Structure 1
């Protein structure tokens, strides 16, 4: 116990040197690890070894297992976390924060923000990676001072603040990451032991100690950061840029978009506020002065991501392969549709040529999305992902595939004939088409509209 108390006293001093306020000495710290056993923690993912030794959590690598995580049983939203660690120079590891594991997401795979532990020459320790999701959010490419703060073969100290939409990190008192991102509001904290290759030696270790947390009056004990802020709203992550993604909406203007039946962007019906593209409410009917909007460009095979947020009872949609040749005489632009709907409060959820085919994420009027889809509550953001390649199409919601089909297949042709689209020849078969955001007269929010053209 004496060793732990001395360590805590030392950490208090380090925390203050990292830019803490005058209130740091009286901060309401609570131990997250009792120094004796792993009570309150549960291992998820792989089968790496974890043990408690001399007041430390010791993680050891093993072969033939994926990434392993020792996770808190409790979830945390806003908090300040501090800890010390010492890592083998050849290992990779990290601290998961606001992370989750749920059966519907890749069979329970741990996913979420990770504060990197990187003893390699790359030196990105205390950068922020998103495990099993978007990849690197804050690499330390432009912060060599933080990269050089890591101490090889020695103890390193992390301070991590997660307050609202901001996550800030420090390594040994040096500001590292300053991320503004509101994708995940809470989740568990976890200590990672990374998987190793067949040629890597098993039994290499990382040790953690002095793990403590503040969860009360968190903002009072927050510290200013000198690290440059990294914003994810309406911007591409480092991984997306490398992978060929492009912004389809810039978050500020109407550039690249026009009315579905206009040669310009609608004068009314839509607004742009705080980096959000908003369909204005109009009693559930398409605005006479607004209407659907489409991309100026057309796309063949593609991957598309769109964040959307519903209001109560709202109806909208994301259409793709919108074919101008089919729009003549149609009440609205015609294309395959990823339905956006408040299933609980909109009557369309009970309609459709196929049962459930007008519920959220469904292929509108044709294929019902998996009823177990992980939809977030009204007023929270969701991420739609649509991929179409070689006529195979998938709808995803919040990282989970909810349906798939093949354009032009016999099943597809049957579904078209049974749907409202049977009156349009060659419906859904266009090789290229516009992307459309629907104005259905209900208030709906869009942001982070991104596309990767595959041909």
Structure 2
């Protein structure tokens, strides 16, 4: 840590522990109950699992050296941790991805004991999502840095970087070199191990001997909430189904579905909620086919919409917005599709009918990580998160933390794409004003939950 960052950390800790004018910052820092848990030679209190990476200790540093293979390696703490604050320094070869598990899990009944759960990412790639929160071997990205350019810029590739993790109650926060990086609320894991990752790597890269190093690893486990850093302006993301986190409420989010009734929704063709084809059970609003599309009772103009969805194998559905006046379903559509099984994925042009596409108009692509153009998708039967942003004429589609589509309604490029689509004959397609949000009945089983919106 630089002297400036250390001074800032010392001052903040002094303020949090209720320092008086007579108490120096150094005394306040000393008063914080930090425990050094940096592994020692022999790795007592730790064990390796997963792949075959080599872990050693030298000069007070934990060193993980990559070996060829397809399985990630982990050095796992024998001890389990609940609420705690953790700080450490890490330096990794630009070739080698890494991370640190927070309340990590490994159980025989889950994928043969694979290490899974919350991970603070160490990402030396051009994407630079270090200190983002990744749900290893489970739900993928819970907090990418797709909207946090300040944290991305704070990472120093090939050099030492300082990380801070606060796991207190159901809230996880991270910092990279003093810059707030991630903030989630989730209730899946309340306790688990700490683990240091050496990512799997191809043989040709492993021959270059890439390694990751950790040092100054310390935790606070005694009343850690007392030493938590102050609130920041960082956007919070909630992952507890059908609930808004405190940060989401503060940011203006509201639930479009209460998780237990059909309140706020009606048939797209008018009247009440469909008598068949839609069910509410176990915290999910599910379309099973035959009931027709449903829409929100209220219209929306400029907004950010977040929807968690779960496809059945081969399913097709969609989320529509800016629907044409006087119609029940003609509008812009975020395509929901099982690309691997549904024939629609091979129709249209260049993939513009696949998952996350602007249906039949613009194909999705990974706009935040161009070297890796594919999608990050949880398979049918597991939950994914779709996000639609509409701000004036600017529209974005996001999938599991990645921006997949971006366009300007009414622009020459948009009009050209519409002219090549099935909507070519629709006058003014996509330029309409406010409308309800629509969930499509395409005859297949799709589950929805955590449907929430904030208006601009």
Task: Please tell me the TM-score bracket, short chain as reference.
Answer: 0.5 to 0.7
SS of the aligned residue for 1:39 comes to strand
Could you tell me which residue of structure 2 aligns to residue 341 of structure 1? Answer: 337
SS of the aligned residue for 1:446 comes to strand
Residues 133 and 376 of structure 1: CA distance in aligned 2, closer, same or farther (over 3 Å):
farther
SS of the aligned residue for 2:417 comes to helix
Residues 103 and 39 of structure 1: CA distance in aligned 2, closer, same or farther (over 3 Å):
closer
Could you tell me which residue of structure 1 aligns to residue 364 of structure 2? Answer: 369
SS of the aligned residue for 2:248 comes to helix
Report deviation, 1:108: 3.8
Q: What aligned pairs does 1:305-344 form with structure 2 within 5 A after superposition?
A: 305-327=306-328, 333-344=329-340
CA distance in 2, matches of 1:41, 1:450: 44
CA distance in 2, matches of 1:103, 1:368: 28
Quick check: 1:77–1:98 contact (8 Å CA) kept in 2? no
TM-score w.r.t. length of structure 1: 0.57
CA distance in 2, matches of 1:311, 1:102: 33
Q: Deviations over 1:283-304 (max 9, x none)?
A: xxxx1xx011001110111100
Report deviation, 1:401: 0.4
Residues 294 and 103 of structure 1: CA distance in aligned 2, closer, same or farther (over 3 Å):
farther
Quick check: 2:103–2:190 contact (8 Å CA) kept in 1? no
Could you tell me which residue of structure 1 aligns to residue 154 of structure 2? Answer: none
Could you tell me which residue of structure 2 aligns to residue 232 of structure 1? Answer: 240
Residue 97 (structure 1) aligned to one of 118, 122, 129: 118
Quick check: 2:378–2:384 contact (8 Å CA) kept in 1? yes
CA distance in 2, matches of 1:58, 1:434: 46
Could you tell me which residue of structure 1 aligns to residue 51 of structure 2? Answer: none
Report deviation, 1:392: 0.5
Quick check: 2:170–2:190 contact (8 Å CA) kept in 1? no
CA distance in 2, matches of 1:127, 1:267: 38
Quick check: 2:132–2:182 contact (8 Å CA) kept in 1? no
- Gapped runs of 5+ residues in structure 1? 1-10, 12-28, 43-56, 63-68, 80-95, 119-123, 139-164, 171-185, 191-204, 212-229, 328-332
CA distance in 1, matches of 2:220, 2:194: 21
Could you tell me which residue of structure 1 aligns to residue 407 of structure 2? Answer: 405
SS of the aligned residue for 1:451 comes to strand
Quick check: 2:332–2:358 contact (8 Å CA) kept in 1? yes
Could you tell me which residue of structure 2 aligns to residue 128 of structure 1? Answer: 171
SS of the aligned residue for 1:239 comes to helix
Q: What aligned pairs does 1:348-363 form with structure 2 within 5 A after superposition?
A: 348-352=344-348, 354-363=349-358
Residues 408 and 351 of structure 1: CA distance in aligned 2, closer, same or farther (over 3 Å):
same
Q: Deviations over 1:344-381 (max 9, x none)?
A: 111000111x3211000000000000151212222211
Residues 112 and 268 of structure 1: CA distance in aligned 2, closer, same or farther (over 3 Å):
same
Residues 423 and 291 of structure 1: CA distance in aligned 2, closer, same or farther (over 3 Å):
same
Report deviation, 1:275: 0.5
Matched, 1:38 2:81: no
SS of the aligned residue for 1:448 comes to strand
Let me know the Cα RMSD of the aligned residues. 4.1
Report deviation, 1:78: 3.5
- Gapped runs of 5+ residues in structure 2? 1-34, 36-44, 49-54, 67-85, 92-96, 108-116, 135-142, 144-162, 175-179, 198-214, 222-237, 366-372
